[in-house]
Amino acid sequence: MIAALRYETVRIATIRSTAVSLVLAFLVGAGLGYLVAEPFSAAFDDAGNPIGDPVIDWYGAFGTPLALTAVFAAVIASQSIGQEYRFGLIRLTLTAFPQRARILAAKVLVVVVAAVVVALTSYAGSWAALAVRGSAQPVGEAPDPTYLLRGVLYVALVALSAFALAGITRQTAVGIAIPIVSGLIVEQILAAVLADRAQWLVRILPWSTGARWSQPAPDSLPDGSFVPYYYAGWQALAVLGVWVVALLLLQTTLFLRRDA
């Protein structure tokens, strides 16, 4: 297993797009973080004049860029399996590591580590932006200790979904495109169409639900019934996590059975 992990680490570290993705993650974290960290007034007097000290969306400065950062992690993840098929390298890989489950496990682990590094790099960019704004420490509300962790987990889950899709289809582009296109377009349309007919289905759409990782969960439906009408926070991550597990299981089955 150590050899397989070493192989995957060297493989991911010796293609330029990995370094490019990390640089972009930092720049996006810094750029969007700086824009989100624009100080604003939260309270006003009767005449409409701001009162009190300006506040900044400290958590938003970290969390907002992750929507794009997750795409960079998805690129690295998709390439780690899709390009193996595209360039025939999978045959070299599986010759050197005939125990397929072992090399696949190594790939998954390295993708997770890479996604965490991408997320932390984005955070570093955001922190730098906040430092420039003069607010490198949390201000305002008490810090949510799990917020940053949830963000990292979200990026890792998007990366794993991209990895699984690229592995299932043996296409890098599919792994990158589906989480984006589905999350931003297809699931939004489905949510609009199915809102009244199949609310349960709308609640478990993978990428649009996962993207609510940063939001607080609503308590109940607008009509007062007990079930929340969408999942958010940890629940949203759990929904995406179940999808990721299902995709990885399908990918593993295919990877173990089909010709290289």
Partner 1 sequence: MTVEAIALGKSYGATRAVDDLSFTLEPGVVTGFLGPNGAGKSTTMRLMLGLDRGDGSTRWDGLPLRGHDHVTRVVGAHLDAKFFHPTRTARNHLRLMATEARVPPSRVDEVLALVGLTDVARKKPKGFSLGMGQRLGLAGAILAEPRVLLLDEPANGLDPQSIQWLRDFLRHYARQGNVVFVSSHLLSEMALMAEHLVVIAKGRMVADETLESFVARSTRNDVLVRCVDPAALRAALAAEGVEAVTDGADGLAVSGIDTDRVGDLAFRAGIALHELTRRTASLEDAFLELTSGDQEFRTGGDA
For partner 1, the binding residues in 198-257 under the rule CB under 8 A are 257
User: Would you say 89 or 198 has its CB closer to partner 1?
Assistant: 89
Minimum distance of partner 1 from residue 100's CB (angstroms) = 9
Euclidean distance between CA atoms 218 and 229, whole angstroms: 7
Q: Please report how close the Cβ of residue 248 comes to partner 1 at its closest, in angstroms.
A: 21
Shortest reach from residue 8's CB to partner 1, in Å: 9
Site for partner 1 in 49-88 (CB under 8 A): 83, 87-88
Cα–Cα distance list, 202 to 106, 157, 206, 218 (Å): 34, 19, 9, 15
Query: Which residue from 19, 195, 221, 260 is in contact with partner 1, where contact means CB under 8 A?
Result: 260
CA angle 65, 192, 206 (to 5 degrees): 50
User: Would you say 181 and 92 are in contact if contact means Cβ atoms under 8 Å apart?
Assistant: no
Residue 260 C-beta: closest distance to partner 1, Å: 4
Instruction: Give the single-character DSSP code of 217.
Output: P
Residue choice 35, 42, 92, 245 for contact with partner 1 (CB under 8 A): 92
Neighbours of 50 (CB within 10 A): 12
Q: How far is the CB of 29 from partner 1 (least distance, A)?
A: 25
191-200 b/e with 16+ CB inside 10 Å = b?
Answer: beeeeeeeee
Binding site for partner 1 (CB under 8 A): 3, 6-7, 10-11, 14-17, 83, 87-89, 91-92, 94-99, 257-260
